[in-house]
Amino acid sequence: MTVLQVGPLMPTLTETLQRRYQALLLPEEGELRTAFLAEQAAGVDVAVTSGGTGVSGALMAQLPNLKAVINFGVGYDTTDVDAARERSILVSNTPDVLTDCVADTAVALLLDVMRGFSASDRFVRAGQWPEGKFPLTRQASNRKVGILGLGRIGGAIAHRLVAFGSTISYHNRRQVAASPYRYYADLAEMARDVDVLVVAAAGGAATQGLVSREVLTALGPHGYLVNIARGSVVDEDALVELLVSGGLAGAGLDVFAHEPKVPQPLLELDNVVLLPHVGSGTVETRAEMESLTLANLDSFLHSAIVLNPVY
C-alpha cells in the first residue's frame, strides 16, 4: 500500500515513514501539490498526519482510494471525520500516552497564573526587586475547580488537583457514571460557582466557542481560565476583552484560536501565562506518540484495522 505524509511531523517519524514505508510527502499548497496529486492521488491508500494539519474533506475527495488516516496526536479536529465515516475511511489517534504530561501542564498553568510565578520571574530579571516587593497573588490550593471535559485528560487533571485540596466539578455532554465529582449540566452555571475553569474538551465543530462570552462573564473578575485543549473551544475575542478590562482575574493558555498567532493584547498582560502549545511536548511523550502512530499504521497495513479508532 502507498503511504502519504500530510503536513510536518517529528523528524524521526518522517525518516521512519520514508525509510520503512517509502512514504510520499504531500507538497505544500500550490502548483507542486496540484501536479503531485494529479500523478499520485489515485494510488494513495493511507495518510499519516498530525492534529496540527489533519486531512480535510477536500483533500479526501482528491484521494479516491484512501482507506485510513493515521493521526499523530490525541486531537483530530483538523481531520474531517464525518467525511471519513461516509467513505468508511478509518481514522486513528494516539490517546493515553500524552495524558500525564498534558495534565501536568494544566496544573502548572493553574499554579503559575494564580501565584504569578512567570510574572515574578520577569520582575526579578528586570531588576525591579530592589525597588519594592512583588504584589501579592492568590492561593492556588483549596480552590473550587470546574473541568470542561472529564475524559482521560480531564480525569487526570482532577486527580492531581484533589491532592491540592481542590473541590472538583465538571461539565460534559453527559454525566460520567461513578464519578465522585459534581456534575453540572449547564456550563455557565458551573463557571459561576468555581474559582478556576479548566478546558479539557476535544476541539471540532461540536465544541466551537463552547466557552462563550456568557460563560467567561459568569466566571467573573475573580475567576481564572486554564486551556490545554484547543483554542477553538474558547471565544478568544471575548477572552481577550475580559482579561484586558478586568472581567477575568487571569488565564493560563497553552492553545490559541489561530496558532501560532497570539492576540497582541495578551502579550502585554502579567496576569496571563502563554505557552506555545507544549502540553505534550516532552521527550518521553513524543516518543510514545510516535511509537503508537507507527503501531496504528502497521496494524492497518497488515490487518486493515487500527488500534485506536476515533469512531
Q: Catalytic residue at 230?
A: yes
How many CB atoms lie under 10 A from the CB of residue 253?
24
Instruction: Exactly one of 230, 236, 286, 290 is catalytic; name it.
Output: 230
Instruction: Exactly one of 15, 86, 214, 259 is catalytic; name it.
Output: 259
Q: 114 near 137, Cβ under 8 Å?
A: yes
The residues near 184 (Cβ < 8 Å, ≥ 6 apart) are 146, 169, 170, 171, 190, 193
Residues 22 and 35: their CA atoms lie apart, in Å, by: 19
Residue 274's beta-bridge partner residues? 253
Residue 92's beta-bridge partner residues? 70, 309
Buried b (16+ CB within 10 A) or exposed e, 256-283: bbeeeebbeebeeeebbbbbebebbebe
SS3 letters for 129-159?
A: HHHCCCCCCCCCCCCEEEEECCCHHHHHHHH
Instruction: Exactly one of 143, 277, 286, 290 is catalytic; name it.
Output: 277
Q: Catalytic residue at 259?
A: yes
The set of catalytic residues is: 230, 259, 277
